[in-house]
Amino acid sequence: MEMTNLPYAEPAEAPRVLPRLLIRSAEAEPLNVRLLAGVLAVCLAVAYFAFVFQYWAPAHNGVDQNGYLVGGKMLAHTGSTGYKPADPLGFVGGMWVLNDKTGINYPKYPVGLPLIYAACFWFFGSHATFVAHLISPISAALAVAGTYLLARQFASIFPSLLAMLLMAFSQVTLVLADNPNSHASCTAFVVWGVFMLLRFWQTASPWRGLIAGFCLGYAATIRYTEGLLGLLIGFVIIAMISWRMWRDWRTLLRLATPLIGWLIPIGYLVIFNLLAMGTLTGYDTTNESGSHSFTWEHVTQNWEKLIRQVHDTGLFFTLPLGILGLALLWRSDAKRAALMWLWLIPGTLIYMAYYWAPERGVSYLRFFMTLLPCLCVGAAIAMDELRAAQQATRASRVFTPIALGLVVAVATSISLYRGLFGLEDGQETAQGLEGQLRINMNGAALDKVILANVPSGSVVFGNAGGAAGLMNDLQFAGNYECFNSEYFTANFVNRLAVMDQRADPEEPNPQQPARRKYLLGILADRQPDTTGPDGATVENYRSKPENVLGEMEAKIVADALAAGKRVFAIMPQAAANAFANRIELRKLGLTGKTVAAYDDLPRLRPPITEGTDPRAARPGGAPGGPGANRRGNAFGGRRGGPNFFAREPQPQNWRVVEIIKKPEKEAAAGRKR
């Protein structure tokens, strides 16, 4: 048979299997209305930034903030957040942990926020300290804008705008908007990460997937517990996969883009921690990441407190709406409902189980700030459902939005009032926008005085905690060799010894035991060991004599002067005079000369108060009262007790005193006496 020459045909490629996409809700509003609403949302976010900026100042004396800011500064200059003082007694912030193998101290916090602060130094040079303090208010405004976009995935325009306002004027958001700690920036990454993850679910767009994964992963490099958001990524990928696409590697790679984006920052975080500290987290060395920190017992103690605080301080008057909306979402879209509850429940449980749970204010509720957008979206869903159900008559179509707007207006007005003055049970605290502005303005003004009169590279003695945490702020604002003058007092050393004696090595404690032992090894004398109630050996220390501590401090001063460095004491007037007149300095022929002064701005009105403190009648008791919970930590806070962050420092009369050699005539007269 003769063969027929037939044209050759390539074998047909198997048809591509498309992922299972999330169907977007039908847009009820015309395009021009949606664009106008988007412009309005942007304007609201910008206006919100302008509002919180009125209460902003480029300084902060907090111990947590010192870890993030100084860690970022070190990362920019050295490539690592690690810091090793030139002198063994050089100032190290309270939230730093010591790597006893290298002698280098690191912030116990993850590296994500210090990396952002480091970028401020890389890109803005001499203006870096100013720009770094702008990160939080910018992040807060971005989180507010992102809440609108996120709510639009579930609700119509008007309820989404109301959700945006609920997020913006939550007392928690207001109080933390200008604070250079981790919460505002982390919330911004979470909101935009969840929004982009939803858009990826709707489109399977690789770039949306990468951005979503990176944002959610970077949130975990700012706050470790946000690693739980990896559950959302896993859920979405599983929801998009079908069994027929296992042979289609291109589609599988596209679906893996959120996971790839998530692993980039997570991998960097893990590698950095292992190389720097030798542990997965900085909290491992303080027992704050183990089984004693997160327990079911804490859940049973904290659940009522958490619900009360979220209702009173987090989303006043509207928390039930948020829960109702998320519950109603199951009826209309089970997949999206599962995603939102997977966001809300693990994050709530993990911090409900946490050991650190102060009674009032944002000290505890700040941990839940990244969950507030989820509840705000739930409130938008509930309001949208109510609006849609009231369409029978023209009157209901008009008055239902007005009623919803009034509910949000009442809630946000009360939250704004509380946020401005830091009200807790009717008592004004330093945590309000107004109180923080006064404290931070004083700090920024004092920084200017110091930078103008104290040359870079000088040795500076000051107070870390007692006088408004000067060293916490100055270590970031200037380039000085800092010392905490409290180290050289027997009172401080003995308090440190008592903390060490009472500390349970298995229990979580904000202060690292190794760092405490390090200081006691230099500043105290070892005493005979004793046996604790559980039979364990207890190490005992007692401060070196006051004159010996004074001689140690005087030697640091003398050595610095001999090396050609200038030495300053920056303290309130009485403390500065006492420092300059210490007998150990006088023996070395040294004295003090005041070169600058700054008097803190006073409070212009009496604090808001109801005349009584209802906290005193509670089981937790008033601060230090007979009912107070005595289970303490290294910094004096009491778990379950009042919010110790609320104390407002008294106005101080600051003096910048330079330590110099006495004039020869005066020194000779002193020697004759």
Strand 653-661 relative to strand 567-572: parallel, antiparallel, unpaired? antiparallel
Q: Are residues 660 and 512 in the same domain?
A: yes
Q: Are residues 555 and 662 in the same domain?
A: yes
CA dihedral 275→279→284→290, nearest 10 degrees, is 150
In a domain, 663, yes or no: yes
pLDDT of residue 242: 81
Q: Read off the tokens for 59.
A: 């300084």
Q: Are residues 189 and 89 in the same domain?
A: no
Q: Are residues 53 and 106 in the same domain?
A: no
Q: Are residues 110 and 227 in the same domain?
A: no
Q: Are residues 350 and 370 in the same domain?
A: yes
pLDDT digits (tens, 9 = 90+) for 377-401: 999 999 999 988 887 778 888 899 9
Q: Are residues 93 and 226 in the same domain?
A: no
pLDDT of residue 7: 53
In a domain, 381, yes or no: yes
Please report, for residues 70, 357, 508, the alpha-carbon distance to residue 294 in angstroms, rounded to integers and kept in the order given: 28, 11, 10
Q: Are residues 49 and 66 in the same domain?
A: no
> Which domain-ending residue is among 392, 421, 450?
421
Q: Are residues 231 and 344 in the same domain?
A: yes
> Which domain-ending residue is among 421, 455, 472?
421
State which residues form the domain around 81. 60-133
Question: In what helix (H) or strand (E) does residue 451 lie, and over which residues does it extend?
Answer: helix 433-453
Count of residues in the chain = 673
In a domain, 148, yes or no: yes
CB distance 340 to 377 below 8 Å:
yes
pLDDT of residue 534: 66
In a domain, 471, yes or no: yes
Q: Are residues 470 and 581 in the same domain?
A: yes
Low-confidence ranges of the chain (pLDDT < 70): 1-18, 23-28, 464-468, 532-535, 604, 609-648, 664-673
pLDDT of residue 76: 97
Cα–Cα dist 662/668, whole Å:
9
State the pTM of this model.
0.90
**How many structural domains compose the chain?**
3
Q: Are residues 291 and 409 in the same domain?
A: yes
pLDDT of residue 614: 46
CB distance 187 to 232 below 8 Å:
no
pLDDT of residue 391: 78
In a domain, 116, yes or no: yes
In a domain, 632, yes or no: no
In a domain, 619, yes or no: no
- Is 656 in a helix, a strand, or coil? strand
Q: In whole angstroms, what separates CA 109 from the centre of its chain?
A: 9
pLDDT of residue 601: 87
Q: Read off the tokens for 426.
A: 């009717």
Q: Are residues 53 and 66 in the same domain?
A: no
Please report, for residues 318, 384, 493, 563, the alpha-carbon distance to residue 541 in angstroms, rounded to integers and kept in the order given: 53, 64, 9, 33
> Which domain-ending residue is among 421, 450, 474?
421
DSSP 360: S
In a domain, 93, yes or no: yes
